[in-house]
Amino acid sequence: MEKLKSLLHEYPKSTNIFMGYGTAGFRARADILPWIMIRIGILATLRSKVKRACVGVMITASHNPECDNGVKLIDPHGEMLDQTWEVYANTLCTLDDDINIIWDYVETLMIQLNIQPNDEAIIGIAYDIRQSSPLLASIVKRAAQALSTTIMDFELMTTPQLHYAIRCYNDDDLNGKYTEADYFDKLCTAFQNLIFMTSSNKSFESLAIDAANGIGAIKLTHVRRILANFIRIDIYNDGTKGLLNDKCGADYVKIYQKAPDGLPLKNYSKCCSIDGDADRLIYFFIDENNQFRILDGDRFSVLFALFLSLKLQEAKLFDDVKIGVVQTAYANGRSTDYIINTMKVSVACVPTGVKHLHHKALDYDIGIYFEANGHGTVLFSDDLKSKVKAASEDPKRTEKERLAANQIRTFINLINETVGDAIADILATEVILFLLNLNLEKWLNFYDDLPQRQLKVAVKDRTMIQTIDAERRCIAPAHLQDRIDELVSKYPSGRAFVRPSSTEDIVRVYAEAITQIEADKLAIEIQKVVEELIN
Ligand code: NG1
Ligand code: ZN
């Protein structure tokens, strides 16, 4: 109690600032975060006690500028914090710096959640390369230690590394421990084994990676070294010159549809950007007509689904396995069409936010999900894992069937199933391109995107908009959906929706049509209706 009290005194709450715990945890300017870290140390301790397992605390603000930082909790299986706990996080942050008030709330929670004072707690803490990170981590640590919690201090890590590490500690099948060397060995061994399994004598083209001047640059050097005999990886924006996420990184490339600074685009046929904490990935290149072309999250879904469904067919497992892609309404309509009608793979649409995609992907034996921004992964059911193992060892099957099953089995090791992992996703993408004999141009030519436009509309109260059907239709305010339907019906292949953002105080409008001019026009028409009905 005394230690906690002095921490509260040392890092007092900044007044009048309330931040909700959302998809990205708490995120703000780094200098106003210290007091929040005390609450996080307490909350992580309680979470660990309730789950009787190790939980994670990741300090990062992902693709935000260096001056920002943030924090999020990771649940025992490496997934995001259970949504019901977001309320406790928010309540703790509304409380004043008075130790008695805070302790009263902690005791209330302990009774409510059936926590005994002597229950053990263990937390794994990691952070990205921001200058503010070590201090923020030390505050979480001190708060948790004040409650006798055991700390595992992982220091510098990518977000997906910590998610995976937490899962390892809680899962006996994963040895109950984590080392960085083991992790990168696992990914690189799977990569090499997939190459060894093919008879191709083709070689890899060099890959240029823009590491956003973030933690990914440091971690990628392991992969570059281990795989040096297979693929040449050149790392740019490695933190030695530029600033974190400054005119570089996956978010910059996707939003501005521009190449990052600091990467000699013309020297490479294949380039990609990751973001500041290495959980997002975007590929890009210059095409024959000198145009800058991007391959975003939708394209990864298509590529991964294509590879896995092909291997399931070759292994004669396709009919026994439920494979599906999970998208949000922002996925380009042509990608959805292509997956359903050409690839014959089912697609589910869920509300925006990784947690929704991840949750839905668990419904499948192979669930592939990516947000358009390049965050995504693949989930494999235990049943699927047993089936491919059995098939790969079944002497009654043909060599081709066994090989395909073995390829899926090996591919599973190349994936971080806990969360989108840009480093794992790079290796998976490279291996698929190699095995299917594709380059970026061919991959891009699977289908043409429908032109689309996104607009942000400032309104007085964005919560007036209520949506259903994975945010594709509005039920409030009255008449909004009818007006949207009427406008959309005038555009061949038109599609549009509006939804309140969960991260900014705005309403987002999305429109798609056959030409860019029409998509722009439709978006503006809908913007006007939103402004008319809400403001
Ligand atoms: P909101 O602001 O709710 O649209 C945005 C992104 C999401 C996701 C979250 C969390 C768009 C349209 N939305 O959500 O994809 O990444 O931020 O970071 O890009
Ligand atoms: Zn990120």
Which of the ligands is closest to the CA of residue 509?
1
What is residue 374's predicted lDDT score, i.e. its pLDDT? 97
For residues 347 and 361, give the distance between their C-alpha atoms in angstroms, rounded to a whole number. Answer: 10
∠ Cα 81 84 126 (to 5°): 20
Distance (angstroms) between ligand 2 centre and the Cα of 424 equals 14
- Put the strands of the sheet holding 68-74 in their side by side order: 26-29, 68-74, 54-59, 122-127, 150-156
For residues 500 and 458, give the distance between their C-alpha atoms in angstroms, rounded to a whole number. Answer: 10
Structure tokens at 13: 């709450």
For residues 244 and 250, give the distance between their C-alpha atoms in angstroms, rounded to a whole number. Answer: 12
For residues 75 and 8, give the distance between their C-alpha atoms in angstroms, rounded to a whole number. Answer: 26
For residues 258 and 42, give the distance between their C-alpha atoms in angstroms, rounded to a whole number. Answer: 42
Paired with 126 in beta bridges are 58, 155
∠ Cα 71 72 78 (to 5°): 145
Distance (angstroms) between ligand 1 centre and the Cα of 371 equals 9
Q: Are strands 376-380 and 452-457 parallel, antiparallel or unpaired?
A: unpaired
Which residues have their alpha-adjacent CB atom under 5 A from ion ligand 2? Answer: 62, 275, 277, 279
Closest ligand 1 atom to Cα of 375: 16
In sequence order, the 6+-apart residues with CB closer than 8 A to the CB of 416 are: 160, 163, 164, 377, 424
Binding-site members for substrate are: 371-373, 499-503, 508
Distance (angstroms) between ligand 1 centre and the Cα of 95 equals 29
Distance (angstroms) between ligand 2 centre and the Cα of 362 equals 22
Which of the ligands is closest to the CA of residue 159?
2
Residue nearest to ligand 1 atom 5, measured at CA: 503
Is there a contact between 301 and 325 (Cβ–Cβ < 8 Å)?
Answer: yes
**Which residues of the chain have a pLDDT value below 50?**
none
Which of 72, 281, 352 is the pocket-test mutation for ligand 1 (most atoms within 8 Å of CB)?
352
In sequence order, the 6+-apart residues with CB closer than 8 A to the CB of 232 are: 204, 206, 207
CB-defined site of ligand 1, < 6 Å: 23-24, 330, 352-353, 371, 373, 501-504, 508
Which of the ligands is closest to the CA of residue 507?
1
Q: Find where tokens 């070689």 sit.
A: 203
In sequence order, the 6+-apart residues with CB closer than 8 A to the CB of 109 are: 46, 88, 115
Is there a contact between 524 and 455 (Cβ–Cβ < 8 Å)?
Answer: yes
Which of 68, 255, 281, 373 is the pocket-test mutation for ligand 1 (most atoms within 8 Å of CB)?
373
Distance (angstroms) between ligand 2 centre and the Cα of 376 equals 11
Residue nearest to ligand 1 atom 18, measured at CA: 24
Which of 354, 503, 508, 509 is the pocket-test mutation for ligand 1 (most atoms within 8 Å of CB)?
503
Distance (angstroms) between ligand 2 centre and the Cα of 357 equals 16
Counts of helices then strands in the chain (DSSP H, E)? 18, 19
Is there a contact between 269 and 440 (Cβ–Cβ < 8 Å)?
Answer: yes
Closest ligand 1 atom to Cα of 502: 3
Tell me the one-letter amino acid at 451. Answer: P
For residues 112 and 105, give the distance between their C-alpha atoms in angstroms, rounded to a whole number. Answer: 10
Q: Find where tokens 């026009």 sit.
A: 521
In sequence order, the 6+-apart residues with CB closer than 8 A to the CB of 196 are: none
Domains of the chain: 2-174 (3.40.120.10), 452-534 (3.30.310.50)
Is there a contact between 245 and 295 (Cβ–Cβ < 8 Å)?
Answer: no
For residues 187 and 119, give the distance between their C-alpha atoms in angstroms, rounded to a whole number. Answer: 36
Which of the ligands is closest to the CA of residue 504?
1
DSSP-based three-state secondary structure for 452:
strand
pTM, rounded to two decimals: 0.95
| Active centre residues (catalytic) | 62
Is there a contact between 96 and 13 (Cβ–Cβ < 8 Å)?
Answer: yes
> What's the full length of the chain, in residues?
535
What is residue 535's predicted lDDT score, i.e. its pLDDT? 78
What is residue 231's predicted lDDT score, i.e. its pLDDT? 96
For residues 462 and 221, give the distance between their C-alpha atoms in angstroms, rounded to a whole number. Answer: 44
For residues 327 and 357, give the distance between their C-alpha atoms in angstroms, rounded to a whole number. Answer: 7
For residues 200 and 214, give the distance between their C-alpha atoms in angstroms, rounded to a whole number. Answer: 35
Structure tokens at 414: 């190349």
Closest ligand 1 atom to Cα of 506: 2
Is there a contact between 294 and 258 (Cβ–Cβ < 8 Å)?
Answer: no
Measuring CA to CA, how many Å separate 17 from each of 23, 26, 28, 33, 35? Answer: 19, 12, 10, 10, 11
DSSP 106-154: HHHHHHHTT--TT---EEEEEE-S-TTHHHHHHHHHHHHHHTT-EEEEE
Residue nearest to ligand 1 atom 16, measured at CA: 353
